[in-house]
Amino acid sequence: MENKVQTLREAIDLHVKDGQSVVLGACLEPMIPFAAAFEMIRQQKQELTLIAPISDILFDLLIGTGSVSGIKTAWAGNVSAGLGHNYRRSIEEQIPSKIDIEDHSNFSLGLSLLGGAMGVPYLPTKSLLGTGLLKSNRSLSVHEYQGEKLVHVPALNPDVAILGVQRADKQGNAHFWGNIGVAQDAALASKKVILLAEEIVETELITSDPNRVLVPGFKVTSVVHCPAYFHPSPMPGHYSRDHLFFHDYHKETKTRQGFLQWVEKWVMSVTTHQEYLERLGHERISQLKVKTEALAASVNYAAE
């Protein structure tokens, strides 16, 4: 079996190219692969189209560094504070650049990725009828079928999906639990899949619980062992949300100069994710670890 483990630097360098479409933040608020976004900034990736229903400050961050040409999303900003200053500057002042926006609901973006995973050109829905999305997203179209109006949502096949999991084996078989969002459809729809894993485990552990497998290993391009890759977002069963980090980001990025100073401190002046964690401080990371348990009941997969 192929060993697909790479460093974060290798995975981003080899599999994310300028001008590509990239899924980041497919689970909405938890398990957002911030470590991958930071590495993309360090490697100065450009002209990216970002795809996710909600990605918290990750889209705002990449917009601010000039890495983005467009976004396909339901919402962009800062969940803890509402506003994303870089997103607003880009829309209102074209600073640092103008970006294209394909406006979605959470559901329509999910349909786009599901359609891509199924290999069909579009999926129909009634849920968008009468909404402003038909004006703000020109890729959507209304058609009549057997006397009923339906909205056709075009399928998406992103170049790369960067997804986070709790654990994976070296071949890319991975366990995921918690709010799955559109992660599974994103993995199946995308041409390449990079997995960031909190831990690397033996294949036997993954196969012991097949219902928790996010995506089969043959669909995965690269596996990165990257503990706390999701910070400051939460990870079910491991870490809670770092609310203070999000609030500080909101305060410190109100101006363009403030944002550039933030990026220098947290991204550019640290060369690896490990250095980022050291700057964050082991005590702060330890405080974010979950203190309670909410265990699932055991199951028996035996067939005889």
Per residue of the chain (304 residues), what is the pLDDT tens digit? 799 999 999 999 999 999 999 999 999 999 999 999 999 999 999 999 999 999 999 999 999 999 999 999 999 999 999 889 999 999 999 999 999 999 999 999 999 999 999 999 999 999 999 999 999 999 999 999 999 999 999 999 999 999 999 999 999 999 999 999 999 999 999 999 999 999 999 999 999 999 999 999 999 999 999 999 999 999 999 999 999 999 999 999 999 999 999 999 999 999 999 999 999 999 999 999 999 999 999 999 999 9
**Predicted pLDDT at 11:** 99
CB 24 within 8 A of CB 53: no
Specify whether 193 is located in the same domain as 53.
Answer: yes
Specify whether 217 is located in the same domain as 116.
Answer: yes
The whole domain housing 142 covers 125-154
Residue 184 counted as domain residue: yes
The CATH number for 248's domain is 3.40.1080.10
**Predicted pLDDT at 111:** 98
Specify whether 106 is located in the same domain as 21.
Answer: yes
**Predicted pLDDT at 153:** 99
Specify whether 136 is located in the same domain as 270.
Answer: no
Specify whether 146 is located in the same domain as 200.
Answer: no
Residue 145 counted as domain residue: yes
Specify whether 95 is located in the same domain as 136.
Answer: no
Distance CA 122, CA 139 (A): 11
Specify whether 248 is located in the same domain as 180.
Answer: yes
**Predicted pLDDT at 45:** 99
Specify whether 104 is located in the same domain as 232.
Answer: yes
Q: Number of folded domains in the chain?
A: 2
Residue 1 counted as domain residue: no
The residue behind tokens 């410190």 is 252
Residue 142 counted as domain residue: yes
Specify whether 133 is located in the same domain as 240.
Answer: no
**Predicted pLDDT at 1:** 79
Specify whether 228 is located in the same domain as 130.
Answer: no
Residue 72 counted as domain residue: yes
Specify whether 135 is located in the same domain as 259.
Answer: no
**Predicted pLDDT at 82:** 86
Residue 2 counted as domain residue: no
Specify whether 83 is located in the same domain as 72.
Answer: yes
CB atoms within 10 A of CB 70: 16
The residue behind tokens 């970006």 is 99
Residue 109 counted as domain residue: yes
CB atoms within 10 A of CB 287: 12
Residue 302 counted as domain residue: no
